[in-house]
Chain A
Amino acid sequence: MRVSLKWLKELVDVDLPVEQLVDQLDMTGTKVERVVRTGQALERVVVGQVLVKEQHPNADKLSYCRVDVGAGEPLRIVCGATNFAEGDKVPVALVGATLPGGVTIKRAKLRGLESEGMMCSARELGAGSDASGLLILPEDAPVGASYAEYAGLADTVLELEVTPNRPDCLSMVGVAREVGAVLGADVRFPEWDLATSGEPVDQAVSVSVEDPELCPRYTARLIRGVKIGPSPDWLVERIVAAGARPINNVVDVTNYVLFELGQPLHAFDLATIAPSGGVARIVVRRARPGERLKTLDGQDRALDAGMLVIADERGPIALAGVMGGEATEVSESTVDVLLEAASFDRASVSKTSRALGLISESSLRFERGVDPELAAVASERAAALIAELGGGEVAPGIVDVYTRRVEPRPITLRCARMNAFLGTSIAREEAAAILTRLGIAAEPSGDDLACVVPTFRPDLEREVDLYEEVVRIWGMERVPSTLPDGRERVGGLDASQKVERRIGALMRACGLNEHIGLAFEDPRRVELCGFELGPDEQLVELLNPMTSEQSHLRVSTLTGLLEAVSRNQRRGVGEVHLYEVGRVFRTSPGRKLPKERTVVSAVLCGAWDRQRWYERPRPLDFFDAKGVLEVLLEGLRIDRWRLDASEHAWLQPGRSADVVVRGEVVGWIGEVAPRVLQAFEIDGAVAALELDVRALARASAAVVRYEEIPRFPAVKFDVAFVVPREVEAETVAFAIRSYGKPLLADVRLFDVYEDPRDARERRLPEGAKSLAFALEYRAQDRTLSEDEVRSVHERLVERVCAKVGATLRA
């Protein structure tokens, strides 16, 4: 809403500087988005008086003048115009002025004589089309004054952000009422007299509303014998300040009243409406299939069935509340004007306006809601103005189809409860005064206020709505700050929230940086990766995605992480270590909401670091990811877990596994398949993992029991088993542990050896590997003797060899 301060000041006294007014509006709920000073284009244009006018010695058509501009020596100005005389007052553009046409005035020599400014025509000032000569100002124009100010061009326009609950503030009167309440000033509402004559309107116009749900009220008035012409300057100035374009006096008046009172109006040329039985018959109905309308903006539009239209016998003549039709618009030849002032359903106008991509001052207001009570008032106001400006006579009466009447709403405001609710101690009288200024009747009734909310405030429905009115005007800054004193309140994170935090801390301790990826997914990437979905499961599909790359929701965070790896590489960052904790989605037929699962995932690519003085970079691989996994599980106090070698489409075969915690698969780990890396344009290997956070939270031990720290020394033996290459280390370790009870306290794999493929001499049999373990034997209650342990150890080694098919390495 654009509010001209000049116009506003006619409605309410505003004695304070603009900055303070803006501040006060901001702080009472009317946000001022911008303050625009108009008339600024005419800076450095002042009122001057021609003192001397001489013939230019070198040019017949030029004169050479001395012009008093109120300050310093009179200026010397060379001028081409002839319509002025010594003593005339004219607008003078000083050196440095930039005129609306973009010309900047400079000191210049014209035919040998220096000119120190320019005397202007109306056209040069953008004040009209007259370029025939200088704009001669009245004799009383003060020499030296700013021309813009003198001519009343200077104004300040406040651009207000009006919240959707305040349709009343989409009018000058509404804003004036608000400003009056904020400043404690009285408002001067516009007044008018309406004289009517001739045949009553209902002899010439009939209205039928077929859909009262969508049109609670429709009024029509008739002004006969109007002379169409330009509007007077004051009116043009105001509607221009409000953001409209002047068209002709009738249309300008409808816009003026729209801005002044907030009621959208429409003027039809009566002659263009198909008569029916001698009267213009207006029908408010829904559009029929296939109907079209050429709107005022010249567009021929196909209407959806169901859009509310104003129609005559022949078909639609206007889109209700949105825009009029071209065929029935007021033109230079219009004589009789049919004036519509109506109330239309908010949702219907909004839908039509959106469907057609057509937003007008009218649709903006109807979308927010226009008070049905206003229609007849505004119609009268507009008719009176049209008659005043365009002559013509207003037909007596109004056709008024008002089916869904709105009434002022009584609400009781309990002062004690208000203060208890706000935490304030606002006196009843103070509250009453605030409400009264806002146009809400507030009469004392016992300890309370009996209020009546006017129809222009549809947002005030409940008692609490009145609390808000009181507190925002009284001043939110005056409300004392307190903290709730609830007694039964205990703060904290729950177990799974704590686990989630811990997961993040552990990933960072491993050197991983947190990424936040988008939840959107491209189904082609899901197909590329071959993510596994259950038999019934499918991706979650967006009905209105922004791009085909973001048309679904992710089932894994891996794709987003790989995209980040690729982006880093493209930007020259080769060492990428990222983790993410986020949700993934899948759904199945019959489900309304999809299944949401939180996962933690990680990608490692390149080395941990660039080359350092103490270390060469080493590309990260499966075991670096597994190291992260081990730290994570240790940190979560999860001890019973293992990796089962497995194959997944997105992982490289032979370097991938399922993570199994207490017999349950909780995720996967592996190196990303070369095919996938290629599709993401990633160089080098990427080791990755993804685990289910809830499953980790369930397995994470809440309490760890103390185990006694060994008091007696251990006896240590090393042993190297030679086994076929495909035997897993864990199989051997498991055998060692199970045969080692009760004395075996610790088993550690410390060496893995295979003959290099091109080795000249083989140390191991073909296809074999050596796994060397360090074993520690210990008793809780005594120091073991080496002999005692040796026999146990030898038996253990024999049994392990037999179990896993191992021999001992020589």
Chain B
Amino acid sequence: MGIVEKIVQLRDEALGRIAAAADLESLESVRVAYLGKKGELTAVLRGLGELSPEERPAVGRVSNEVRDAIEQALAERRAVLEREALEQRIAAEAVDVTLPGRRRPLGHQHIIHQIVDEIVDVFVGLGYRIAEGPEVELDYYNFTALNHPPEHPARAATDTFYVRDLSTDEQSGRLESDVLLRTHTSPVQVRVMERQRPPIYVLAPGKVFRRDVADPSHLPQFTQIEGLVVDEGITFGDLKGTLEHFVREIFGPERHVRLRPHFFPFTEPSAEVDVSCAMCNGEGCRSCGGEGWLEVLGCGMVDPNVFRYVGIDPERYSGFAFGMGAERIAALKHGIPDLRLLIEGDMRFLRQF
């Protein structure tokens, strides 16, 4: 057999083995067997030097052709095998997409603070800043400067928690202390007006305390959100418009708002604010007790006596204030049947919201 025949035979052999290679590994061994350093074709090519100069060009050409053919066949086969391998891997890697994802449970914000933050954001959008005050307060800020007469029933020890006053040695009668747990967030109004001149646009969320035994509709500690605006030319219509905006932001744009005249010592005129029941839209149904309306907050124009306590001229400035209970809003908006759920820390409750 001449050298050319030998080369052609090698080619045929190689192409046959390439086509038969079942995987990339055996394909690689075919490549090594023919084109590797010790490969058969390599050996043949290495022997070209021993040929006569007349034979060399022809044999050289044939062997180059053969090498190219084998390389091309290898490349084509590799592409096929790689594609097959990828397809197999993909098939093998298919998962049950309905299995739950890997995760750590997400933490949830308490529903009360979600409501507070939501309301804060509404009023920040209206240009309000957030004010804070102490939870242990002086009678002066909680009652006196808010125009509560000395005999006001809210001052009674049955309603308000009093705190031992350590600034004086003689603790005259047990309940004579003028230090107390604030019963509303309204004292923050007074503190803000004492330290800041108008214009004042503030919202004051915070904890408040009343001597109520915890039951489905009462807690001894709950959360109020107080608003105060003092500026030149503030009108009762501004109060109304502000609260309408607020109620629609929090309860939904289709809800109606009404102001019912009421009495609070620190506002004049005063009103309670009702929002139309989401279930019946004011018609009256079981969820609103047939009223059609749900009371959500109290409000009014700042009483001139309050301005007098903080040295703001009621002839020059006017203002409005409003206050609401976050727990009540939570109960109305989310159908929470028992307020005690809010302070128990039950994981199953907290993770619902």
Binding site for B on A (CB under 8 A): 26-29, 31, 163-166, 346-347, 350-351, 354, 420-424, 462, 464-465, 467-468, 471-472, 476-477, 479-486, 488-494, 497, 501, 504, 507-520, 538, 540-546, 550, 553, 560-561, 563-565, 567-568, 571, 573, 575-579, 582-583, 585, 587-594, 596, 608-609, 612-615
In the complex, A508 Cα to B165 Cα: how many Å? 38
Chain A CB count within 10 A is highest, among B124, B233, B235, for B235
Partner of A583, one of B100, B135, B151: B135
B167 beta carbon closer than 8 Å to chain A: yes
On whether the beta carbons of B220 and A576 are closer than 8 Å, the reply is: no
On whether the beta carbons of A462 and B229 are closer than 8 Å, the reply is: no
On whether the beta carbons of A573 and B129 are closer than 8 Å, the reply is: no
B286 beta carbon closer than 8 Å to chain A: no
Residues in B neighbouring A26, C-beta threshold 8 A: 260
Partner of B112, one of A354, A516, A573: A516
- Given known A484-B238, A578-B345, A613-B99, contact A513–B108 (CB-CB < 8 A): yes
Residues in B neighbouring A510, C-beta threshold 8 A: 107
On whether the beta carbons of A346 and B151 are closer than 8 Å, the reply is: yes
Residues in A neighbouring B136, C-beta threshold 8 A: 540, 553, 585, 593-594, 596
Chain A CB count within 10 A is highest, among B99, B113, B209, B269, for B269
Residues in A neighbouring B128, C-beta threshold 8 A: 489, 491
Not counting A27-B258, A507-B107, a sample of 14 additional A-B residue pairs whose C-beta atoms are within 8 angstroms of each other reads: A29-B260, A165-B263, A481-B241, A486-B229, A491-B125, A504-B109, A512-B107, A516-B113, A543-B174, A564-B345, A564-B346, A585-B135, A591-B166, A593-B138
A629 to chain B, nearest CB (A): 15
In the complex, A481 Cα to B257 Cα: how many Å? 11
- Given known A491-B129, A504-B113, contact A591–B167 (CB-CB < 8 A): yes
A355 to chain B, nearest CB (A): 11
On whether the beta carbons of B175 and A596 are closer than 8 Å, the reply is: no
Residues in B neighbouring A592, C-beta threshold 8 A: 138, 165-167, 179
In the complex, A550 Cα to B138 Cα: how many Å? 20
- Given known A491-B201, A540-B136, contact A476–B271 (CB-CB < 8 A): yes
Residues in B neighbouring A520, C-beta threshold 8 A: 220-221
Q: Which B-chain residue is minimally distant from A540 (CB atoms)?
A: B163
On whether the beta carbons of B346 and A519 are closer than 8 Å, the reply is: no
Stretch in B32-40, B50-58, B70-78, B153-161 with 4+ CB within 8 Å of A: B153-161
In the complex, A765 Cα to B239 Cα: how many Å? 78
On whether the beta carbons of A541 and B268 are closer than 8 Å, the reply is: no
Partner of B262, one of A163, A514, A589, A590: A163
Residues in B neighbouring A501, C-beta threshold 8 A: 117
A353 to chain B, nearest CB (A): 11
In the complex, A561 Cα to B163 Cα: how many Å? 24
B255 beta carbon closer than 8 Å to chain A: no
B90 beta carbon closer than 8 Å to chain A: no
Residues in B neighbouring A561, C-beta threshold 8 A: 345
Residues in B neighbouring A346, C-beta threshold 8 A: 151
B162 beta carbon closer than 8 Å to chain A: yes
In the complex, A24 Cα to B179 Cα: how many Å? 42
Residues in B neighbouring A477, C-beta threshold 8 A: 258-259
On whether the beta carbons of A492 and B129 are closer than 8 Å, the reply is: yes
Residues in A neighbouring B271, C-beta threshold 8 A: 476
Residues in A neighbouring B195, C-beta threshold 8 A: none
Partner of A516, one of B137, B199, B262, B343: B343
A452 to chain B, nearest CB (A): 20
- Total interface residues in chain B, CB < 8 Å: 91
B303 beta carbon closer than 8 Å to chain A: yes
On whether the beta carbons of A422 and B124 are closer than 8 Å, the reply is: no
Within 8 A of A (CB), among B184-227: 199, 201, 207, 209, 211, 213, 220-221, 223
B105 beta carbon closer than 8 Å to chain A: yes
- Given known A491-B124, A546-B213, contact A462–B304 (CB-CB < 8 A): yes
Residues in A neighbouring B221, C-beta threshold 8 A: 518-520
On whether the beta carbons of A479 and B236 are closer than 8 Å, the reply is: yes
On whether the beta carbons of A482 and B235 are closer than 8 Å, the reply is: yes
B310 beta carbon closer than 8 Å to chain A: no
On whether the beta carbons of A568 and B107 are closer than 8 Å, the reply is: no
On whether the beta carbons of A479 and B237 are closer than 8 Å, the reply is: yes
- Given known A518-B220, A590-B167, contact A350–B151 (CB-CB < 8 A): yes
22 A-B residue contacts at CB 8 Å? A29-B260, A165-B263, A421-B301, A464-B301, A464-B314, A465-B268, A467-B269, A471-B236, A476-B260, A476-B271, A477-B258, A484-B229, A486-B199, A486-B231, A504-B113, A509-B107, A518-B343, A538-B166, A543-B162, A583-B135, A592-B166, A612-B102
| 5 nearest CB pairs, A to B | A423-B237, A564-B345, A423-B235, A29-B261, A508-B107
Residues in A neighbouring B231, C-beta threshold 8 A: 484, 486, 489
On whether the beta carbons of A464 and B268 are closer than 8 Å, the reply is: yes
Partner of B269, one of A351, A472, A484, A517: A472
B62 beta carbon closer than 8 Å to chain A: no
B1 beta carbon closer than 8 Å to chain A: no
On whether the beta carbons of B104 and A511 are closer than 8 Å, the reply is: yes
- Given known A471-B236, A482-B241, A514-B108, contact A492–B124 (CB-CB < 8 A): yes
Residues in A neighbouring B245, C-beta threshold 8 A: 483
Q: Which B-chain residue is minimally distant from A516 (CB atoms)?
A: B110
B94 beta carbon closer than 8 Å to chain A: no
Residues in A neighbouring B229, C-beta threshold 8 A: 484, 486
B45 to chain A, nearest CB (A): 40
B126 beta carbon closer than 8 Å to chain A: yes
On whether the beta carbons of A515 and B258 are closer than 8 Å, the reply is: no
Q: Which A-chain residue is minimally distant from B162 (CB atoms)?
A: A543
Binary flags per residue of B275-297, CB closer than 8 Å to A gives 1, else 0: 00000000000000000000000
- Given known A482-B238, A491-B125, contact A543–B112 (CB-CB < 8 A): no
Partner of B211, one of A165, A347, A350, A544: A544
Partner of B303, one of A464, A573, A589, A614: A464
On whether the beta carbons of B263 and A164 are closer than 8 Å, the reply is: yes
Residues in A neighbouring B21, C-beta threshold 8 A: none
- Given known A483-B242, A493-B130, A571-B346, contact A615–B220 (CB-CB < 8 A): no
Binary flags per residue of B108-141, CB closer than 8 Å to A gives 1, else 0: 1110110001001001111111100011111000
Residues in A neighbouring B314, C-beta threshold 8 A: 464
In the complex, A481 Cα to B241 Cα: how many Å? 4
On whether the beta carbons of A166 and B263 are closer than 8 Å, the reply is: yes
Residues in B neighbouring A590, C-beta threshold 8 A: 166-167
Residues in B neighbouring A483, C-beta threshold 8 A: 126, 238, 241-242, 245
On whether the beta carbons of B235 and A420 are closer than 8 Å, the reply is: yes
B333 beta carbon closer than 8 Å to chain A: no
Residues in B neighbouring A613, C-beta threshold 8 A: 99-100
Binary flags per residue of B335-353, CB closer than 8 Å to A gives 1, else 0: 0000000111111101100
In the complex, A582 Cα to B345 Cα: how many Å? 14
A49 to chain B, nearest CB (A): 40
Chain A CB count within 10 A is highest, among B164, B223, B242, B244, for B164
Residues in A neighbouring B126, C-beta threshold 8 A: 483, 491
A470 to chain B, nearest CB (A): 9
In the complex, A3 Cα to B244 Cα: how many Å? 33
B166 to chain A, nearest CB (A): 5
Partner of B110, one of A420, A515, A519, A545: A515
On whether the beta carbons of A420 and B129 are closer than 8 Å, the reply is: no
- Given known A347-B150, A486-B127, A491-B124, contact A542–B343 (CB-CB < 8 A): no
B106 beta carbon closer than 8 Å to chain A: yes
Q: Which B-chain residue is minimally distant from A166 (CB atoms)?
A: B263
In the complex, A480 Cα to B149 Cα: how many Å? 33
On whether the beta carbons of A608 and B177 are closer than 8 Å, the reply is: no
Residues in A neighbouring B240, C-beta threshold 8 A: 423, 476, 479, 481-482
B183 beta carbon closer than 8 Å to chain A: no
B318 beta carbon closer than 8 Å to chain A: yes
Residues in B neighbouring A514, C-beta threshold 8 A: 107-110, 113, 350
On whether the beta carbons of B105 and A608 are closer than 8 Å, the reply is: yes
Residues in A neighbouring B241, C-beta threshold 8 A: 481-483
On whether the beta carbons of A575 and B347 are closer than 8 Å, the reply is: yes
